[in-house]
Amino acid sequence: MSDGAVQPGRIDSRPVYSGRIVTLSIDTVRFPNGQVGELEFIRHSGAAAVLPVLSDPAGPDPQVLLIRQYRYASGGYMLEVPAGRPDHEGEDWEVCARRELEEETGLVAGKLRYLTTIFTTPGFTDEQIRLFLATDLTAGSTRFDQDEFIEPVTLPLSEALEKVRTGEIQDGKTIATLLYAAGFVMG
């Protein structure tokens, strides 16, 4: 930059751990004020999440399908939208969303609408989740991963939103998907 301003960003990266889902490193970073420090950083492939709408999304209180899934990190079961990571680097996000929807719910989307992309926790990870809305659903078949324990839960959108309000739904991607769909797409 010609005005002498400091360009923030990574200076160096020291790998600590590389696993099936995440990679952890200690990154040396230049901050906007010019100081340098170290940050723990988790790299993640990202994911696609889908809200299946079982009835007319323009209707007065559309039926949606969520999944009740065991999550070790949360200490129990959570109510969520179906979601998952790409099968391979460069996989199209819509392809990923369609696959995860069918694998986790047994539903195939006739129409899939992209909503938005969220950063899950930008303080320490680059994970982004692409949010979608699925309609015109037909029957497919489920295929659970070894660590997936899932049961479908059908409810009116108003009830799902009430569960967000009361804190019964705590999963961030699910809250964002439901609120985005309710606020900008459905009804």
Q: Is residue 59 part of a domain?
A: yes
pLDDT per residue as tens digits for the range 133-165: 999 999 999 988 888 899 999 999 999 999 999
Domain count, the chain: 2
Q: Is residue 1 part of a domain?
A: no
What domain range includes position 119?
Answer: 45-184
pLDDT per residue as tens digits for the range 57-101: 999 999 999 999 999 999 999 999 999 999 999 999 999 999 999
Please give the C-alpha separations between residue 164 and each of 2, 91, 142, 157, 175, in angstroms, as whole numbers.
48, 31, 26, 11, 6
- Helix pair angle (172-184, 157-166), 10° resolution: 130
CB contact at 8 A, 31 and 8: yes
Indicate which residue of 89, 103, 104, 148 is catalytic.
148
Same domain, residue pair 59 and 111: yes
Same domain, residue pair 60 and 31: no
Residue 148 catalytic? Answer: yes
The pTM (predicted TM-score) of the whole model is 0.93
